[in-house]
Structure 1
């Protein structure tokens, strides 16, 4: 399968989990059916300057971010750290996280949510 740029689903929406502002989500794979029921999200996400994805806890799933560009404050289970291009974050089952774009540039990231099949 090849999914061309103009074939992806683009969804600009209010930031989730009581975050500020808006985000843009581009689905790279369209949900569990395209992920052999092992995951539910594989997306390229833009967090606009001044926007955030609010802190939330993952139950029965993990989430990984690969930061493509920008600077963000990342809430890793209550500990705030700065993440930049090339950094990878991992939030395991039962753990929480949130991310906020800081500065004048958006944060571009790849998000992968995998289901805990154990």
Structure 2
């Protein structure tokens, strides 16, 4: 199955998980395409000053792969900077947040799979 860029569903969420500003999301896979093993595979974009607030995952993990920009990433209370090519994984029972720490859009792939 091929899905063209123009066919990818796109949504915008404001103050996602208590964060600031907007998050633009393109669904790379639809929920039914996970065969019961996950729920999200998205291309995400945060404009400068925008963020996804701190939250924990239960029964699932989330992985971020940074494509462009600079991120301030909270990994269970420890803040680090992520750059293109960096990957951050949050296991079930752990928490995280992400914010655009630069002057250009922060783009990343987010994947949530069941534990």
Structure 1 length-normalised TM: 0.95
The CA distance in 2 between the partners of 1:13 and 1:57, in whole Å, is 18
Task: Please give the secondary structure, in 2, of the residue aligned with 1:17.
Answer: helix
- RMSD of the alignment, in Å? 0.6
Q: 1:83 — aligned with what?
A: 82
Residue in 2 aligned with 1:73? Answer: 72
Structure 1 ranges of 4+ moved more than 3 A: none
Per-residue deviation, residues 5-56 of structure 1 (Å, max 9, x unmatched): 111100012031100000100000011x101110100000001110000000
5+ residue gaps in structure 2? none
Which digits, 9 at most, give the CA deviation of each residue in 1:51-72, with x for residues without a partner? 0000000000000000001001
2:51 corresponds in structure 1 to 52
Residue-by-residue CA offset, 1:70-108 (whole Å, 9 max, x unaligned): 001000000000001000000000000000101211110
Separation of aligned partners in 2, 1:84 and 1:60: 28
- CA distance in 1 between partners of 2:102 and 2:61 (Å): 28
Question: CA separation in 1, counterparts of 2:100 and 2:73?
Answer: 9
Q: Give 5+ residue unaligned stretches, structure 1.
A: none
TM-score by length of 2: 0.98
- Higher mean alpha-carbon deviation, 22-31 vs 6-15, is at 6-15
How many residue pairs end up in the alignment?
115
Alignment of 1:35 with 2:34, yes or no, is: yes
What SS does the corresponding residue of 2:19 show, helix, strand or coil? coil
Distance 1:61 1:69 in 2: 25
